[in-house]
Amino acid sequence: MKRLAGVLAGLVLTCSVATAHHGYEDFFREKRVSVEGVLEGLDYANPHVILKIRTDDGQLYTALWEGLTGVERRGGAGTKLTVGERVMVIGSPPRDPASRDIALLRQVKRLRDGWTWRTE
C-alpha cells in the first residue's frame, strides 16, 4: 500500500510539473507585441523552439515558439530560418515589464523574402 501511495504521489507531482509548464500566467494572453531584429540564436529543442532576437536598440529578446512538432506541422522546419538574418515575431508580452520574453507566438516572419509562419 505504501508503495502504491508513493507511485501515485510521483505521478501527481509529474503531472503538476507538466501542466505548470504550459501555464502562461506570466504573459498577457490577450495582448500582442511585435519584435523585429537579427536572429542571434535558434534552438530546435523540447519543449519549445527558442529564438533569440537582438533588436536595433541592442535589447535581446527570447521568443518561445511552439514545440518542434507544432512548428514543423505549420511549415517551420529547421531549414527555414538562419542565425544572422532579420526576423519579426508577434506574440504575447510578459506581465513583468523588465522581462524580454515573448510567448504564444502567432507569427514568425523572415524579412528578406517574406516567408511567414503563423498559427491562424
Strand partners, 23: none
24 with 64: CB under 8 angstroms? no
Q: Which residue bears the cell 541592442? A: 58
67 with 6: CB under 8 angstroms? no
* Report field, pTM of the whole predicted structure over 0.95: no
SS3 assignment, position 51: strand
Q: Is 1 part of any domain?
A: no
CATH of residue 31's domain is 2.40.50.140
pLDDT digits (tens, 9 = 90+) for 17-64: 444 455 788 899 999 999 999 999 998 877 888 999 999 999 999 999
What domain count does the chain have? Answer: 1
33 with 93: CB under 8 angstroms? yes
Q: Is 13 part of any domain?
A: no
